[in-house]
């Protein structure tokens, strides 16, 4: 069992405490983990080059060919507020065949499996699945999602994880920034970013003055589906 902790809190667990905890989790819950003090992190997960450059370029081409953009909106009510967000976007329905799904869904599912391996406790959560809708967004120079926000609010309380696919390189800023976690991510073609949707992970986009940014964004949520085969985990 975990040895008695000293009185200095908060602190990072000792190697011996992590080893004992790992053994307890495997014995009691059947969870296999090799957690070390260095791996105690913020649950933000980056899989580099997960989607091929060819597929990312094709997604951008499809977006530009459609020419049926919406102004960027905020929240499930799709509110327009240019003080908070300026971009062009399209909503894509994951549940029905479309040319976008074939470009990245398989890679997204693989990234999710990697996330679940790194954080096996997520498998204790009630059944969850990919949310029905996701978005492809284009931010031109000086555009962005300026407001600090989280993804689980209002009528979106069922959201558990957020996913984002960067479809192009942006070298002139264009970051995704998480102030609380003191992390920022530079857009790189094919990278998939996954993080918790909750209030613990407020974030925002940093504009680029010279380059456009294309991203796919969606969620995994708790909503129960009629067909149990739709669940991401059982």
Alpha carbon of residue 127 to chain centroid = 18
Listed residue (203, 18, 39, 230) closest to 128, CA to CA: 230
Residues 7 and 49 in one domain: no
| Average pLDDT taken over every residue of the chain | 81
Residues 26 and 93 in one domain: no
Instruction: Indicate whether 62 pLDDT > 50.
Output: yes
What confidence score (pLDDT) does residue 21 get?
Answer: 60
pTM of the predicted model, to two decimals?
0.78
User: Rounded mean pLDDT of 46-75?
Assistant: 90
Number of domains in the chain: 2
pLDDT tens for each residue of 100-124: 988 999 999 999 999 999 988 888 8
Residues 68 and 91 in one domain: yes
Residues 92 and 106 in one domain: yes
CATH number reported for the structural domain that contains residue 113 in this entry: 2.60.120.620
| Domain housing 2 | 1-40
Residues 30 and 122 in one domain: no
pLDDT tens for each residue of 134-159: 999 999 999 988 888 888 876 677 88
pLDDT bucket at 70, cuts 50 / 70 / 90:
confident
Measured distance CA(85)–CA(205) in Å, rounded: 9
Residues 60 and 125 in one domain: yes
């Amino acid at each position: 069992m975990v040895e008695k902790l000293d009185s200095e809190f908060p602190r990072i667990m000792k190697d011996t405490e992590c080893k004992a905890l790992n053994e307890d989790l495997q014995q009691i819950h059947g969870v296999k983990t090799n957690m070390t003090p260095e791996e105690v992190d913020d649950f933000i997960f980056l899989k580099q080059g997960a989607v091929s450059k060819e597929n990312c370029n094709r997604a951008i081409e499809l977006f530009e060919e459609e020419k049926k953009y919406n102004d960027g909106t905020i929240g499930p009510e799709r509110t327009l507020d240019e003080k908070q967000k300026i971009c062009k976007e399209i909503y894509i329905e994951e549940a029905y065949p479309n040319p976008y799904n074939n470009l990245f869904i398989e890679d997204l599912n693989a990234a999710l499996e990697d996330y679940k391996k790194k954080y096996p406790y997520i498998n204790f959560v009630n059944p969850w699945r990919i949310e029905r809708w996701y978005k492809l967004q284009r931010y031109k120079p000086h555009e962005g999602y300026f407001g600090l926000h989280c993804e689980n609010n209002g009528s979106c309380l069922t959201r558990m994880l957020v996913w984002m696919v960067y479809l192009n390189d942006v070298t002139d800023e264009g970051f995704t920034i998480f102030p609380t976690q003191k992390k920022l991510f530079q857009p790189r073609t094919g990278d998939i970013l996954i993080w918790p949707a909750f209030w613990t992970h407020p974030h925002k986009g940093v504009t680029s003055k010279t380059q456009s940014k294309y991203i796919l964004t969606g969620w995994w949520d708790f909503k129960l589906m009629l067909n149990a085969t739709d669940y991401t985990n059982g």
